[in-house]
Chain A
Amino acid sequence: MNGADPLLRLSGVTKHFGGIIALANVSCSVPRGRIVGVIGPNGAGKTTVFNIITGAYSATAGTVMLDGQPIQDLKPHQIARRGIARTFQNIRLFASMTVWDHLLVAQPHRGSALRLALPASWADPDALQQAEKVLVFFGLEAHRDRLAKSLPYGIQRKVEIARAVTAGPKLLLLDEPVAGMNEQESDDLRDLLFRLNRDGLSVLLIEHDMPFVMQVCDYLYVFDFGAVIAEGHPDLVRRNPVVLDAYLGQEG
Chain B
Amino acid sequence: MFLQQLVNGLTLGAVYTLVALSFSLVMGILGILNLAIAELFMIGGFVGFSLLVSGYPIPVALGAGMLAAGLFAIVIERVAYRPLRDAPLVTPMLSTLGFSIILQNIATNYWGSDPLQLPGYFLATRFEAGGVQIGAMQLVVLAATIILVGLLALLVRRTKIGRALRAIAENRDVARSLGVSANQLTMVAFLLSGLLAGAAGVLVGMHYTAITPYVGVDTGLKAIAVMVVGGVTNIWGALLAGPIIGIAEVMTVAYGGSQLRDFIVYGIMILILLIRPQGLLGEARAEWSQRV
Contact = CB atoms under 8 A, between A and B. Distances in A.
A56 B292 CA distance: 6
Interface in A56-77: 56-58, 76
A56 B291 CA distance: 7
Contacts of B291: 56-58
B91 to A, nearest CB: 16
A247 B191 CA distance: 52
A107 B291 CA distance: 24
Interface string A32-57: 00000000000000000001000011
B288 to A, nearest CB: 15
Interface in B259-292: 291-292
A203 B116 CA distance: 74
Contacts of A56: 291-292
Contacts of B292: 51, 56-57, 76
A20 to B, nearest CB: 14
B95 to A, nearest CB: 22
A76 B291 CA distance: 10
Interface residues of B, number: 2
Q: Would you call the interface of chain A mostly helix, strand, loop, or mixed?
A: loop
B291 to A, nearest CB: 7
Contacts of A76: 292
A53 to B, nearest CB: 13
A173 to B, nearest CB: 15
Interface in A94-122: none
B87 to A, nearest CB: 14
B256 to A, nearest CB: 42
A218 B116 CA distance: 83
A52 to B, nearest CB: 12
Nearest to B290: A56
A18 to B, nearest CB: 11
A86 to B, nearest CB: 12
A76 B290 CA distance: 13
A16 to B, nearest CB: 15
A76 B292 CA distance: 9
Nearest to B291: A56
A75 to B, nearest CB: 9
A90 B291 CA distance: 19
A247 B291 CA distance: 32
A69 B292 CA distance: 23
Contacts of A57: 291-292
B252 to A, nearest CB: 40
A66 B291 CA distance: 21
B272 to A, nearest CB: 24
A19 B291 CA distance: 19
B283 to A, nearest CB: 14
A51 B292 CA distance: 10
A68 to B, nearest CB: 25
Contacts of A51: 292
A38 to B, nearest CB: 20
Nearest to A56: B292
Contacts of A58: 291
A200 B116 CA distance: 80
Nearest to A54: B292
B285 to A, nearest CB: 14
A58 B291 CA distance: 9
A50 B67 CA distance: 55
A51 B291 CA distance: 11
A107 B157 CA distance: 54
Nearest to A76: B292
Nearest to A75: B291
Nearest to B292: A56
A73 B204 CA distance: 54
A57 B286 CA distance: 14
A51 B290 CA distance: 12
B260 to A, nearest CB: 39
A17 to B, nearest CB: 11
A56 B290 CA distance: 9
B275 to A, nearest CB: 21
A84 B40 CA distance: 54
Interface of B: 291-292
7 contacts: A51-B292, A56-B291, A56-B292, A57-B291, A57-B292, A58-B291, A76-B292
5 A-B pairs closest in CB distance: A56-B292, A56-B291, A76-B292, A58-B291, A57-B291
Interface of A: 51, 56-58, 76
